[in-house]
Structure formats: C-alpha cells, structure tokens
Amino acid sequence: MSDSDALAEKFTQALRDSGIRITRQRAALVDIIAQSEDHPDAVELHRRAADAVPGISLSTVYRTLSALEEHGVIQRLQFEGDTARFEHADLDHHDHMIDVDSGEVVEFQSEEIEALQDALAASMGYEIVHHRMELYVRKTRGKPKS
Amino acid sequence: MSDSDALAEKFTQALRDSGIRITRQRAALVDIIAQSEDHPDAVELHRRAADAVPGISLSTVYRTLSALEEHGVIQRLQFEGDTARFEHADLDHHDHMIDVDSGEVVEFQSEEIEALQDALAASMGYEIVHHRMELYVRKTRGKPKS
DNA sequence: GTTCATGCAAATTCTTTGCATACCC
DNA sequence: GGGTATGCAAAGAATTTGCATGAAC
C-alpha cells in the first residue's frame, strides 16, 4: 500500500510544484493511477474515481488525464483498434506485449533493443525523443522449441 | 511507372483470387496505393481517388481500405495523435521514424532489433504475430556528438 | 475574494452502417 | 440476372469544448 501512496505523493508534489490546483477529483485520479497495475482507459478510470468522488464527470477525467500526461505523471497508450489506455509514468521505461488471444498486456524492457534504436536513429541524423514498441503475441503452443 | 503497375497488378490479382469484386473504385484505390510513396490517410486517399473516379464516396474509401487491409494489401498505421494512415504492404517489413518537428515519416528496418524481439518474446513463452515500432525523433543539432 | 476547475450538454472528429440503387461477374 | 458494392445520410464511439457555477489557494 505505502508503495503506491509514495508514488501518489510524488505525483501530487510534482503537480503542486507546477502550479496546478489539487482538487478532490485530481487527487482521487492520482491515487487511482498510482495504485493501478493494469492499463485502464478513461471510462474505467471514471468508474473507479466515482467511488471516491461521486458525481465526477467524464470530461473532468479526460481533462485531468491530459494534464497528468503533460506533467509527465502518466503515459498514454494506444493499442491497435482500442481506445486510449493509461499507466503511471514510473522510473523505468518499458514497452508492451499484447496477447492477441486474451488481450492481456505484459510489460517488458530490453536495453539491447533501446541501444540499437538509439544507434540507428543517430546513424540517420536523429535523436529519439520517445518511442513506442508493441509486440502483438500469442502463447507458444506446447513446449518452447527444443 | 511499371514498378507500381506491377505492384497494383499483384494486389488486384490477390483480391480477384479471394473472390472480391474489382470495381472502378477499388481498382483506382489499388493503383493509388501502389503508387504512393507517402503515408496518406483516408481523406487524402479519397481526394486522390476522386480524380480517377469522380463522385467516389468517403464511405467507399473506408470500406475499401478495410477490405485491402484484411487481404494483406495494405498496412494501417496509427501514429500518435493522428488519424489512421495507410501504406501498401510491400515485401519487406519496416518500421517508422516520425520527425516530431516536421511530421516527416522515415522508414527503416533493423534485423538485429527484430531478432531481439523474437528472442525476447520466445523467452516469455510467446511468439510474435506482428509488431509496431515507432521512433519519435528530432534532427540532431550541429554535428553528431564527437 | 480571485481565479481556476468542474459538470453538463453540445460540438467535433474519425469511422462505421442501413438502405435503396447501380454495377461487376 | 443475381448478388455484391456504392452513395448518401445518419449513426456511433471517443474525445474535446463553451459556459455558468463551485471550489481551491
């Protein structure tokens, strides 16, 4: 519990520092997002937020999500043929693997791949601002190939 | 010219084989897509198609694009905060680099990265169905760092 | 007390769909 | 000729926005 509390506290501080007001709605959303281990969309966040702040409107959720994204608190995800999903911006960058059968989302990271991306961009005269990598996968049948 | 003509022919054949009718609208769109070196969206394709088939409707463009995607003729791209864009499905898979300043899209490929992706997925018990990798980049200022 | 954020409803944007007519095979 | 594709207009889904009221600092 205190893990996500600390995260929420950190996010709140960042928002406060940037001068934006911490309303009940925003505080609730920050808490929910800090606690979330999944990748909810705006409607789902609205549903969850309504427990803490009955009557919160979906517009507020959308507006808050945009604000949180701008301030680096959350990451907006856009998987194929799906609505926008969100996750908190944690310390370590990671990418996503989506099981096309179950819809399950698995996070992963690969420093080797990131290094290659950087090298590749550099070789073409660019530097990477950010990137997106999604692997649409399926569980391997039987045992891993011998 | 004959290069994209050959491609268009190949696509048309694939469609014919799968039993879907080749109407004037579809033929025009296949031609346009085979010739396109950029990444147009549905509205832009509609504009281009209207030269060959005046009166073609945007719905038909959308419907045709879905059909072409289903039959493996085109690839649907979804860059950040942008509408869907399309490119023809060529032999060689590639990914995209988007210049965040100019909006320019550059294609690239990296067999090393793909190999790492495969290995990574396999190590987690998955096989890759397809993937998406987008690098949002900015031109390196001055000379490459010494 | 000001100013900024909220809620509501309406507007926007992109895309899909129902239906009568037209066209491909 | 038969059945699928088209055009039109309307519907849909996700997200954004204008405005009057309410809440944070």
Signed CA dihedral, A84, A90, A94, A97: sign only: negative
pTM, full prediction: 0.90
Q: How far apart are CA A78 and CA A84, in angstroms?
A: 5
Nearest to A7 by CA among A73, A96, A75, A76: A73
Mean pLDDT for each 10-residue chunk of chain B (146 residues)?
A: 79 90 95 94 96 95 96 94 92 91 93 96 95 96 55
The average pLDDT across A116-123 equals 96
Q: How far apart are CA B42 and CA A104, in angstroms?
A: 30
Residue-level pLDDT at B146: 41
Give pLDDT, residue A145. 46
Contact at CB, A131 and B132, closer than 8 angstroms = no
- Find the Å distance, CA of residue B63 to C1' of nucleotide D6: 10
pLDDT of residue B138: 96
Average pLDDT, chain A: 92
Give me the pLDDT at residue A146, please: 42
In chain D, which nucleotides are within 7 Å of a protein Cβ? 4-10, 13-18, 23-25
* pLDDT digits 0-9 by tens, A15-57: 999 889 999 999 999 999 999 999 999 999 999 999 999 999 9
Quick check: A136 and B131 CB within 8 A? yes
Domains within chain A, CATH numbers bracketed: 3-88 (1.10.10.10), 95-137 (3.30.1490.190)
Is the CB of residue B74 less than 8 Å from the CB of residue B65?
yes
Specify the length of chain A in residues: 146
Tell which residue, B29, B67, B133, has the closest CA to residue A95: B133
Q: Is the pLDDT of residue A142 over 70?
A: no
Measured in angstroms, what separates residue B135's CA from nucleotide D20's C1'? 44
User: Closest chain A residue to B114 measured between Cα atoms?
Assistant: A113
- A52 three-class SS: helix
- Cα of first residue to Cα of last residue in chain A, in angstroms, is 42
Tell me, what's the pLDDT at B2? 65
- Cβ B60 to strand D below 7 Å: yes
For C6, nearest residue by CA–C1' is A60
Residues of A whose CB is below 8 A from B99: 126
Q: What is the pLDDT of residues A64-91, one digit of tens each?
A: 999 999 999 999 999 998 999 999 997 7
pLDDT per residue over B99-127, tens digit each?
999 999 999 999 999 999 999 999 999 99
Q: How far is the CA of B52 from the C1' of D5 (A)?
A: 17
The answer to whether residue A140 scores a pLDDT higher than 70 is yes
